[in-house]
Structure 1
């Protein structure tokens, strides 16, 4: 297993903890007294306009989960910036960055329903609410290399996400900083990393439908799926 997690060791060194895109929302944000779709539509920070529009274009059965008051779903939400970066490639064909937008969609209005379903399902866990404090710590070997821990969640689409918690040092004192979540896309074996999803920007955004964990600004829409 050690070899499987070598790439993660590099990721952890590179993506040091920062307050720039992390907000501890365990108690600060609290509970939104409405459905998840209502939360996305009425967010005053304007982070969720895009995913709300995608959900509105999904199949009725899938959309209903986000309108439910008892679905208990866990959603790893891509923010508006992830969609903006996705549309970047429609304007910059031939760019030397990885192109996830291979159909060169220029707006959500161009997304077919099947693609909207795919986007949502690859970010959606229907096995219950997973809160930040439910996620086990990352495990390391005696050399400090990541060697397991966390938990692997099967998404509704069939892909898998590995999430783990960390609590770094603050002012030189170990295990005193904020607890944060990080995530990676993994293969069917639940171990081999295919894409690092980075630090979860905001956790525990509870609502009547379940809980949202906001993916960070570094996340690229398309890291969890391939265009069909």
Structure 2
């Protein structure tokens, strides 16, 4: 009996020490057999606000996959929390109370800046050169904002580069940076990389 117990404990410990130990605190990675727009509409807790913004900006066709110019897309998606933070952190003379109060062209640009043509999974992007603001893969958004998208790898139990792998974006002109909370949410016509709730939706 003791031998069996010892074997079970040993197997459990070995299984927990695999290199790709996962610390995913965002949305669950998954494949959704529907358009990206249908996926966003189905998850009210995370995407209700961006759905309103997409429809208001007249960009539904891109997210549904019906726009002939953009059959597949990658979306670095700001969640409801990110958009809520945009409204809470406003300063200046003009304070908006809802998405539909924001000029439509501004909303359009604030969405297009987070969209890249083609399906790009996390593995599509290179690693950052540690300790620098270089490395990764440069891509251009649908409104021509240059983004540096890069993978990172943390330490685990004091050993570098074997811990959880992360994905981040960096808008090189504005300097805005954001963590991806959950990557590789795949739909029929694209991939969603969900931004961290700590991120505030901005015009990149």
The bucket for the TM-score relative to the shorter chain is 0.7 to 0.9
Unaligned runs of 5+ in 2: 1-21
Instruction: Give the match's secondary structure for 1:49.
Output: helix
Please say if 1:194 is aligned against 2:170: no
Instruction: Give the match's secondary structure for 2:148.
Output: strand
Cross-structure match for 1:121: 112
Give the conservation status (yes or no) of the 8 Å contact 1:135–1:163.
Answer: yes
Please say if 1:163 is aligned against 2:149: yes
Query: In the aligned structure 1, how far is the partner of 2:153 from the partner of 2:60?
Result: 35
Please say if 1:58 is aligned against 2:61: no
Structure 1 residue 112, shift from structure 2 partner = 3.4
Instruction: Give the match's secondary structure for 1:119.
Output: helix
Instruction: Give the match's secondary structure for 2:126.
Output: coil
Query: In the aligned structure 2, how far is the partner of 1:147 from the partner of 1:38?
Result: 36
Displaced runs of 4+ in structure 1, greater than 3 A? none
Change over 3 Å in CA distance of 1:156–1:216 after alignment to 2: same
Query: In the aligned structure 2, how far is the partner of 1:210 from the partner of 1:49?
Result: 19
Relative to the length of structure 1, the TM-score reads: 0.71
Please say if 1:215 is aligned against 2:201: no
Larger radius of gyration: 2
Query: In the aligned structure 2, how far is the partner of 1:51 from the partner of 1:102?
Result: 24
Change over 3 Å in CA distance of 1:77–1:220 after alignment to 2: same
* Residue of 110, 115, 122 corresponding to 1:132: 122
Query: In the aligned structure 2, how far is the partner of 1:63 from the partner of 1:195?
Result: 26
Give the conservation status (yes or no) of the 8 Å contact 1:206–1:212.
Answer: yes
Give the conservation status (yes or no) of the 8 Å contact 2:110–2:203.
Answer: no
Unaligned runs of 5+ in 1: 1-17, 91-98, 188-192
Cross-structure match for 1:107: 98
Cross-structure match for 2:18: none
Structure 1 residue 88, shift from structure 2 partner = 1.2
Change over 3 Å in CA distance of 1:119–1:147 after alignment to 2: closer
